[in-house]
C-alpha cells in the first residue's frame, strides 16, 4: 500500500499551472419523490486528475455520477462535460458525450449472455465505428492484457470471480479510449488484496490512457491509493474537500469517525 501512495506523490500534476476543467457541476439537485438525495452539489473535475468522492452508502454517490451521463435527469443545476451542458442537450449530442466517458458500474454490469470477447466488442462496434475487424480484435486483446487477463477472451462472465469481473468490466470501458472515467465503487465487495490490485489498475489507466477520473468509494484504502483530491459528501452536499493529508489531519468528528472506523476494520 505504501508503495502505491509514494508512487502517486511523484506523479501529482503541477498545481501552479492553469488547469483545464473537464466536468463542472453547479447547484446540482436530485430527489426521488419525497427523498432529497442531492440538495446542492458543486464539483469540478480537472484534466488528468483522480478525484475521489467519499460518502456513506445511500448518500447519493451513484446518483451523482449517473446524473453526469444522464442516466438520471437532475431536478435542477448545471452539469458541464468538456464545456457542454449535459442536462439540456439533445440525444445526438448526449450520445457523443457518452462516447467520451467510460462508466465502471458498481456491479460490473457485464452482459451475462455474452462471452468476454462479445462484451468488449459491444461498445467498440457502437462507439468506434471507424475501426475494422483485425484492429478491433487487437484493441480488445490489448485492453484485456492491460487489466491482466489476456486469456479471458472466450469465457462467460458467470465463470469469473468478482475481482475478474471488475477487471473485465474495466477493460470494456477502456477499450474505447474514454477521456473521462467514472468509477462506481470499484473495490466494494472485493478482498483487500484484489482491492489493491484494482486501485493499481485505476492508476495505470490514468497514466496510460491519460484519463480524468471520478472514483466513488467508501473504501479509504482505495482513496489513499488513487486520490489526487478527495471530496466528501454528506446529506446531499459537499461536506469537505482536500487532499488525503487534509482528511487524515482533520479533527472534524464526521471525517475522523469515517477514517478511524475504516482503519480499524
Ligand X SMILES: Nc1ncnc2c1ncn2[C@@H]1O[C@H](COP(=O)(O)OP(=O)(O)O)[C@@H](O)[C@H]1O
Chain mean position to CA 114:
24
Q: Pick the closest to residue 166 from 141, 181, 186, 152 (CA basis).
A: 186
**In this complex, which beta carbon is closest to another protein, that of residue 187 or of residue 225?**
187
CB of 253 to ligand X, least distance (A): 20
Does 161 sit near another protein (CB under 8 A)?
no
CB of 233 to ligand X, least distance (A): 7
Please provide the size of the chain in residues: 265
Q: Which does 242 bind (CB under 5 to 8 A by kind): Mg ion, ligand X, another protein, none?
A: none
Q: Report d(CA 206, CA 17) in Å as an integer.
A: 19
Q: Which of 26, 56, 126, 207 binds another protein (CB under 8 A)?
A: 126
- Choices 12-20, 57-65, 200-208, 238-246; region in contact with ligand X by CB under 6 A: 57-65
Q: Measured at the alpha carbon of residue 107, what is the angle toward residues 44 and 7, in degrees to the nearest 5?
A: 55
Q: Give the H/E segment covering residue 213.
A: strand 212-217
57 binds ligand X (CB under 6 A): yes
C-alpha cell at 2: 505504501
Q: Which is nearer to another protein, 107 or 257 (CB)?
A: 107
Radius of gyration of the chain from Cα atoms?
Answer: 18
> Closest Cα partner for 193 from 213, 221, 227?
221
Number of residues that bind ligand X (CB under 6 A): 11
CA distance 122 to 175: 10
Report if residue 59 touches ligand X, rule: CB under 6 A. yes
Q: Which of residues 85-114 bind another protein (CB under 8 A)?
A: 95, 98-99, 101, 103, 105-113
Applying CB under 6 A, does 71 fall inside the site for ligand X?
no
Judged by CB under 5 A, which of 23, 28, 50, 62 binds Mg ion?
A: 62
Task: Identify which range of 59-67, 86-94, 123-131, 252-260 contacts ligand X by CB under 6 A.
Answer: 59-67
62 contributes a contact to ligand X by CB under 6 A: yes
Binding status of residue 166 toward another protein by CB under 8 A: no
Q: Rounded CA gap, 102 and 172, in Å?
A: 9
Give exposure, 230-264, as e/b (b: 16+ Cβ within 10 Å).
Answer: bbbbbebebbbebebeebeebeeeebeebbeeeee
Write the DSSP assignment of 18-37 as a string of letters: ---EEEEEEEEEEEETTEEE
Which residue stretch of 30-38, 129-137, 139-147, 197-205 sits at the interface with ligand X (rule: CB under 6 A)? 30-38
Please report, as ranges, the residues that interact with Mg ion according to CB under 5 A.
62
Please report, as ranges, the residues that interact with ligand X according to CB under 6 A.
32, 35, 37, 55, 57-63
Please report, as ranges, the residues that interact with another protein according to CB under 8 A.
66, 69, 71, 95, 98-99, 101, 103, 105-113, 122-123, 126-127
Amino acid at each position: 500500500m505504501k508503495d502505491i501512495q509514494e508512487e502517486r506523490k511523484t506523479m501529482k500534476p503541477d498545481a501552479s499551472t492553469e488547469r483545464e476543467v473537464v466536468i463542472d457541476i453547479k447547484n446540482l439537485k436530485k430527489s426521488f419523490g419525497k427523498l432529497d438525495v442531492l440538495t446542492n452539489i458543486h464539483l469540478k473535475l480537472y484534466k488528468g486528475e483522480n478525484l475521489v468522492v467519499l460518502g456513506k452508502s445511500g448518500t447519493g454517490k451513484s446518483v451523482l455520477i449517473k446524473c453526469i451521463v444522464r442516466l438520471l435527469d437532475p431536478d435542477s443545476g448545471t452539469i458541464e462535460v468538456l464545456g457542454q451542458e449535459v442536462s439540456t442537450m439533445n440525444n445526438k449530442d448526449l450520445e457523443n458525450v457518452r462516447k467520451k466517458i467510460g462508466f465502471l458500474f458498481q456491479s460490473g454490469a457485464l452482459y451475462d449472455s455474452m462471452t468476454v470477447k462479445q462484451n468488449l466488442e459491444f461498445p467498440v462496434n457502437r462507439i468506434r465505428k471507424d475501426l475494422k475487424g483485425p484492429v478491433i480484435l487487437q484493441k480488445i486483446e490489448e485492453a484485456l492484457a492491460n487489466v491482466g487477463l489476456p486469456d479471458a477472451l472466450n469465457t462467460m462472465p458467470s465463470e469469473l470471480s468478482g475481482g475478474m469481473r471488475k477487471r473485465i468490466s474495466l477493460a470494456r470501458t477502456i477499450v474505447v479510449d474514454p477521456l473521462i472515467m467514472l468509477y462506481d465503487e470499484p473495490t466494494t465487495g472485493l478482498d483487500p488484496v484484489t482491492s489493491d490490485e484494482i486501485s493499481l489498475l485505476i492508476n495505470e489507466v490514468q497514466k496510460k490512457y491519460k484519463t480524468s477520473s471520478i472514483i466513488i468509494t467508501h473504501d479509504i484504502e482505495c482513496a489513499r491509493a488513487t486520490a489526487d483530491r478527495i471530496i466528501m459528501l454528506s446529506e446531499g452536499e459537499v461536506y469537505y474537500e482536500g487532499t488525503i493529508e487534509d482528511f487524515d489531519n482533520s479533527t472534524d468528528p464526521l471525517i475522523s469517525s469515517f477514517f478511524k472506523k475504516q482503519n480499524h476494520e
